[in-house]
Amino acid sequence: MSGPKRRPAIPVILLTGYLGAGKTSLLNHLLRHPDARIGVIVNDFGDLNIDAGLVVGQVDEPLSISGGCVCCLTDDSELEDALVAMTNPGLRLDAIIVEASGFAEPLTLARMITRMGHHRFHLGGVIDVVDATMYFDTVDTSSLPPLRFAATTLVLVNKLDQVPVADRDATVDAVRARVHERNPRVLVIGTHHARLDPTLIFDPGAGERGPRRGGSDVGEDPIQPELPIRELLRQAYAEAAVDEIGDDEVDAESMPHRHAQSVTVTGSGPVDPDAVMDFVEDLPPGVYRVKGTVRVAAGSGQRDFVVQAVGPNVYVAEAARPAPKAPSSNVGDGEGPDADSVLVVIGEDFDTETAEATLTTALNRGATANAQGSNRSERLLHHVRLHT
């Protein structure tokens, strides 16, 4: 018999970068996604010209942190209070984005989010936006690569449209080489106008799809309605974009660009938890995140765990209900009526065949997994305790 229903922890994405690199452009790009429900917390230190109207159209009110750089506040309870408020079940958010000051230290912020989470929210990635034309004049000016990349999970080399076409690949490669000196696990990709496929970093629409797999909508809080002004604001910003960057660029925004790759793997029976955790704790090159549910042998029974990983950040929680038996056909969900476990691998330019083969073996150990020990859940429970 399952226990009380636990709402899934909401991913918190830290958006960092020096002023003018394109953080706000990325945020507004994500907010314009038609299916996204994003909570936004803005640090008022510096010139952060967030399109507040778009935020209002998403989740009623943006929450603003004042008092300087978030990571330097003597009392960080204001940030925690804002994050907790964003976990209000009536909002049904897909993700929370904290847009930090250009002077914010990503490593400190990441530690703060992890410490505060307690399974209400968890660190869903640290995105650092850099200016392709100014990187080596602003961010990377010493002999050693910046320490900020130790905590970063994704670097966007933005404003490539301002770099000659022939030099763009070399520019991204140069930044990537320096970032990987500090942290070889960071995904580094080039963008212009901060256009990034949202599915690379969160699941648009995940908070609005009705009852969760294996769940019921009985007793669910209604989704907070979106405000009618949202569509009007979209139109207004689209018109402003025409004036700013021209009709050709605006038309290009609706064209396919830099789509994330996705591989879904399912399994029957208990998984090999060590093989699963070996994969999620050391993601292959090009893989940015992994999400899903796995079933593990535990004594005479079985336990189900929600597993998520973004770069080196791993989050595990005990699933409140059994693993999915009939996943939907939506992109990123499992397939097949008999799946006890399902993991989705998301990234850019990664070896999809190898990733699929590795996880297929891990998720379909069955009797072998049971024979290796009566309780195989300890490695996952270690991560559960880290967030409790």
**pLDDT value at position 322?**
53
350 — pLDDT class (breaks 50, 70, 90)? very high
Nearest Cα to Cα of residue 83 among 67, 71, 98? 98
333 — pLDDT class (breaks 50, 70, 90)? very low
Which pLDDT tens digit goes with each residue over 260-269? 899 999 999 9
**pLDDT value at position 130?**
94
Q: At what angle do helices 229-245 and 52-59 cross, to 10 degrees?
A: 150
Tokens encoding 266: 């399912």
| 301-310 and 313-318 strand pairing | antiparallel
Are residues 323 and 304 in contact, defined by beta-carbon separation less than 8 angstroms?
Answer: yes
pLDDT at 230 over 60: no
Which CATH superfamily, name and number, covers 10-200? P-loop containing nucleotide triphosphate hydrolases (3.40.50.300)
Which pLDDT tens digit goes with each residue over 292-329? 999 999 877 889 999 999 998 999 999 875 544 444 43
Say how far apart CA 31 and CA 40 lie, in whole Å. Answer: 9
- Mind spelling out the 3-state secondary structure of the chain? CCCCCCCCCEEEEEEECCCCCCHHHHHHHHHCCCCCCEEEEEECCCCCCCCHHHHHHHHCCCEEECCCCHHHCCCCHHHHHHHHHHCCCCCCCCEEEEECCCCCCHHHHHHHHHHHHCCCEEEEEEEEEEECCCHHHHCCCCCCCCHHHHCCCEEEEECHHHCCHHHHHHHHHHHHHHHHHHCCCCEEEECCCCCCCHHHCCCCCHHHCCCCCCCCCCCCCCCCCCCCHHHHHHHHHHHHHHHHHCHHHHHHHCCCCCCCEEEEEEECCCCCHHHHHHHHHCCCCCEEEEEEEEEEEECCEEEEEEEEEECCEEEEEECCCCCCCCCCCCCCCCCCCCCCEEEEEEECCCCHHHHHHHHHHHHCCCHHHHHCCCECCHHHHHHHHHCC
Nearest Cα to Cα of residue 31 among 94, 121, 102? 94
Nearest Cα to Cα of residue 254 among 92, 85, 34? 34
Q: What is the mean pLDDT of the chain?
A: 77
Hunting for tokens 């022939």 — which residue is that? 166
Which region among 72-86, 282-296, 361-375 has the lowest average model confidence (pLDDT)? Answer: 361-375
Report the range out of 139-153, 233-247, 308-322 with the highest average pLDDT: 139-153
Query: Alpha-carbon Rg of the chain, whole angstroms?
Result: 21
Say how far apart CA 345 and CA 237 lie, in whole Å. Answer: 33
Task: Give the CATH number of domain 261-322+337-386.
Answer: 3.30.1220.10
**pLDDT value at position 258?**
60
241 compared with 70, residue with greater pLDDT: 70
Q: Span 245-257, mean pLDDT?
A: 42
Task: Locate the domains of the chain by residue range.
Answer: 10-200, 261-322+337-386
